[in-house]
Structure 1
Amino acid sequence: MKHNFDELIDRRVSECKKYEPSYPKDVIPMWIADTDFAVPEEIAEAIQKRAEHPCFGYPVESFEFERAAARWEKVRFGWEIDPEWVKYSNGVLPFLMYAIRAFAYPGDKVVIQPPVYPPFQAITKNNGCQLLTNPLIQDDNGKYQIDFEDLEEKLKDPRTKLFFMSNPHNPVMRAFTLEELTRIGELCLKYHVIVIADEIHCDLTYKGYHHIPFASISEEFAQNSMVLINPSKTFNIAGFRTGAAIIPNKKMRDNIQIIIEDNKNYGRTIFGMLSFITAYTECDYYADEMMDYLEENKNYIVDFIRNRIPKIKLAEPEATYLLWLDCRDLQMTQPELKTFFFEKAKLGLNDGATFGIEGTGFMRMNIACPRATLVEALNRLEKAVNELNKC
């Protein structure tokens, strides 16, 4: 590999949220969705070169940003888009808020599929809309499936205006199939519900699975959706807070622009633009190599848990480096489960219940770390579970 993903980096000296100062040093943080890998050297060099200039005033809004997003979608996923469709924002989440303010009135409804990324809930409620949940359901292998009968019931509500979709899905590790996405798209068209597709994990699919941009499926879907992207998860540049929305429908684009201006969020950041452009134009190799590395991490943890910690269940991961651990056989309350991982296993994971009540009994583990870290973490978890069995 060109990049060394085995490198152990001390992140505690970098004002890192994942390793925030209050975090005990004997606990391995494996929670928030950034990686423990160094950024591609191309990004580091571009930033260092720009930082040599002593002035950091308002930057020109270079159209290279839009072209970079278009290039990535075409090269990585075969979706040809017009750079004019691309809108800048300081991250993906603001676009959820923009969508509510542009396309819904207070009291209107938004459909989500829990267990799902917590801000989907908070942004909806904080912007005066009601939540409708279409909980994903597990089959006999633990794989999550869409309850389409329930989904249609939620979409047909006359006050439902938006469907927030996470694909690949965080945290249940699904890369939805063409058939599933098509059924979603057809139902949303039937009931005049706009799809907001959060595709921030689009680069992170494992062998045998692939990501399909929702709006690439048909022109009808494209005209009824926004696709949200951000290189942060892939290239470990979340701190630059720079994302984009791809909005093929001009009327929708114009409405979103009005909301952006109303919220005074139209200024771009120097290093955010630079890292975004560099990632999406020069760092394909890094995305490929990281997924090869994560594939081995994923295989290691799947084998380890199935053979050495059978009380914890893990469905076959299809996408993302955020693995959804089913800990219900440990027979703990959620507070007990959190305490067990933090104080007994010495691992800092995400509390599954924050993803919705459907996440009770689960914990989310970030495996985007050097292999040595993952091995140590799993050995700790095995030891902690074995000590439970002795009690």
Structure 2
Amino acid sequence: MDDETAEIELLQQNLNKTRQISKRMTSILDSFETRVAKLEKSILPLYTASQILNRRRSNIDKTLEKIDDVATREEDLSAEESLILRGPQAGQLHLYKEAVERLNANIAFKAGESAEIAKIADLVETGAKRLVQLYTKIVAEGSSGPTPTSDRINTSLLSLPSTFPPTLLPTLTPIVKFLRGMPIPATHPSHPAAQGIARTLMDAQRGFADMRGNWSVKCLDAQGKRLVVRAGTSDVDPLQTGREFGEWLEVILATADEEYKLLQSLAPLPPSSSAISSSYALFLSPILRLFNSVLSSLVALMKKNLQRYSFLALSAYEALLSQQGQFELVLSFTTDMGAGGSFSSSKGAGGGAMVGDKTGHDILKEGLTTLRSLCLRSFPEFLADIKLAALPTAVGKGGANVNADVSTKVLDFTVETVKYISKIPEVEGAVSAALLALGDGNWKMEFE
């Protein structure tokens, strides 16, 4: 028992010591908490002030970053502006194209910054204009120079007088490809520069058509004038002149067809655009004017002396008739085609190309009609000449022909008749077409 009592007393003593220690610890902790509370009260204003400073520092850093970004963009924009205003340089077209592409990309990422977007859009439009100036310069270079001097008409497509120089195509083709990718309302309706760029490209395309049309006329004009001069020369067979007219017309149509393909490949606007047909009409108008002028000059000669130029009328009519289909095909390129391939113009084929108040279709139709009427006139007039030549020139007593030739030589009108008949097979197409157009039984000439 004594041992147990001693242990209990020892435990009691230890418990009391533990309690004393706990009280001391509690007192210390209370004192520490009080000090911490005081410290917190003293630190809190400093902490609050430091937070404000931190926020201010963050705002300052962000502002500086923004300023640096704006300054960098302004430097970049100034560099791009300098490059754009200088225009594309020889051998550095790719750098210019890249600059325009970067400006276009900036517009896409600057939504909401209207002032900056407007400035960039102006630069993009200026870049398009500078590229168009280079495009026009190259086209003008390919549409100038000395005209062909050969008297011989060559209908080979490889030797057409107005062919665009192939040496310029490697330079021009990349420009055309890039211009066709420029923003226009049809492809980029929301682009701020689309309208201005579309007008610039349309003007360039019309300029292309105008230059090519005038150059083609310049190359074809000498041959056309030569035809008229040769037709009025007494030692040139009118039948041969008519054939040369057909060869010249073939060159015109081949040139027109080749230039249509060239317009499709080199026009700055997409080839599917309806602007192609209107531009081609602009190209074709001076050529139609030249054709109409030469044909009118030849017709005037025929009307002046149809007896001499009857075979010119027949061979020219046959030539125009044989190429009527190709002529109408060329004219159809000037008319927009709607769905299903139908013409959208009420004027019909060739309604787009005008010479004065006449369409190309009118010129073709009038040319065929005029030549056919001259051909039809030539037949009865020739028969009348034969009849007149066979009549006695003077009558004596008893009705005798005092001037009658009683020799056995062949009379002049007989020789002319044989020549006339021998030439008819060479223009058989024109003769049959003219008589078929007149109709059976409508052309009769009887000898009394």
TM-score normalised by L of structure 2: 0.21
Larger helix share, 1 or 2: 2
Q: Which has the higher contact order (CA 8 A, sep 6+)?
A: 1
The higher radius of gyration belongs to 2
Larger strand share, 1 or 2: 1
